[in-house]
Amino acid sequence: MKRWLSKVWFVISLPCIFNLPLCFWQMHVLGAGILSMLIFVLVMLAGTCFFWPVKSREMVSLRVRMMAAGARFAWGGLYGMAAEILLIFLVYVRHTPGVVVLTVNLIFACVGCFSLLSAGVFLIIVTSRRLGIVRRLFMVLTMWIPVVNLVVLLYACRLVLEEYDFEQEKAALQKLRVDSDLCKTRYPLVMVHGVGFRDLRYFNYWGRIPRALKRNGASVYYGNQEAFGTIVYNAQDIKKRIHQVLEETGCKKVNIIAHSKGGLDARYAVSRLGMGPYVASLTTMNTPHRGCRFVDYACCLPEGLYRLVAACFDRTFSRFGDKNPDFYTATHQFSTKESELFNQQVPDVPGVYYQSYASKMKRPWSHLLLAVPYCMIKPLEGDNDGLVSITSAQWGEFQGVFSNSRTRGISHGDIIDLKREDYTGFDVVETYIQIVAKLKEKGF
């Protein structure tokens, strides 16, 4: 009931507030005193404060509430402008209140609409996650272009409302899962990152995923291997880390969830370094088990140029903590030829549950940094995530392909929540919760 009353009040009160000088003039003509005018203003403001913040079915964060308020402010500013144009034809033309009243009222209305609209745009740009950097820049650049700014703003408001509904559903789900053991697996989780990253303290490779898993009862640890170490070198780090986790928790085994090259590092540790008895399951996400066609093209570059680039990467990542970076070898291990040899030398270990997942982009512009490799892989191997084809990502029990309901798709980075963004039709955090929940169901 309150929601309907708020809409009715919104339609009636906003034009009155934006046209207070005109309302005062009309009340003065009708013989109302100053006290009546003050009471009118107080009623308008009190009603607006009471009905404005109505939209909330579940408890959501302050950021989300501010984002929703921004959309409502923007709509209010646009509605105020439309109402003002209508008043000009219905009131000013037929019942001219005088030049002074007309001028003051127009200035007051324009300032009010512009202020409300600006506040809404500012809140949307600052708080929304779905807009992304490109859309934010586009909003700022088109702010002063008539008609275009209106279309862009309406599009942004639609995205904001979709994000708000998504956050409400997530908040409701979290409320139902308070103190939940949904992800409390028998064995702790060891999350193994891919190439080019490290497990940093203040920037988590896995985004919001580990926190959500812990909230639902999981014990989460990290592989702590190097960013550009070779498979053999990183497997040694993973082996050490597994022993540390077992000693710390007192458990007999661990569950490994690995992304990209991390899946190859983990497979080598399990198969060739004797970690099979200590690993219950290995889940690989977008891992190039059969290589990456883009790397095949990259390996055709002049040897001197490739080694020069590799030396630059090695120097850079040695400063970030890599003890033995080897960009040249680590990247060459992604080639289809090297991968075929790797699969022959690294067989699956009986008793370890292997499963895999993949994702796919739907268009080259879904992820601009991956547009070129996506286009190179698409004609040869079909659907891919911008680096790894679906065929290459399949290993063990293949569980399926992640995408979303829009034309964007889910890229190699989206599957690990790299951008901390939510996409329509795909909840990356909930995806991992379900993956771990299924591991629990299987007794791992």
Q: How large is the average pLDDT for residues 194-214?
A: 84
Q: Determine what percent of the chain is predicted with pLDDT higher than 70.
A: 83
**Count of C-beta atoms within a 10 Å radius of residue 295:** 21
Where is pLDDT greater, at 79 or 13? 79
Residue 68 confidence (pLDDT): 83
Residue 287 confidence (pLDDT): 95
What band does 204 get if pLDDT is binned at 50, 70 and 90?
confident
State the Cα torsion 59-67-85-137 to the nearest 10°: -160
Give me the amino acid identity at 324.
N
What band does 246 get if pLDDT is binned at 50, 70 and 90?
very high
Residue at token pair 């990183």: 234
**DSSP string for 376-418:** HHHHHH-SBSSSSBHHHH--SEEEEEE--SSSSB--TTGGGTT
Q: How large is the average pLDDT for residues 341-369?
A: 90
Q: Output the pTM of the full model.
A: 0.75
- In angstroms, the Cα distances linking 64 to 70, 76, 200, 437 are 10, 18, 27, 28
Q: Answer whether 139's CB lies under 8 Å from 121's CB.
A: yes
**Count of C-beta atoms within a 10 Å radius of residue 83:** 18
Where is pLDDT greater, at 33 or 425? 425
- In angstroms, the Cα distances linking 194 to 11, 176, 265, 281, 309 are 53, 33, 9, 18, 19
Q: How large is the average pLDDT for residues 143-171?
A: 81
Kindly state the tokens that stand for 295. 């790397």
Residue 436 confidence (pLDDT): 94
Q: How far is CA 251 from the centre of its chain?
A: 34
Where is pLDDT greater, at 341 or 300? 341
Residue at token pair 């392909």: 401
Q: What integer best gives the mean pLDDT of the chain?
A: 82
**Digit-coded pLDDT (tens) for 71-106:** 888 888 888 787 777 776 666 655 566 677 777 777
130: left (phi over 0), alpha (psi -120 to 50) or beta: alpha
Residue 94 confidence (pLDDT): 59
Residue 27 confidence (pLDDT): 67
What band does 190 get if pLDDT is binned at 50, 70 and 90?
very high
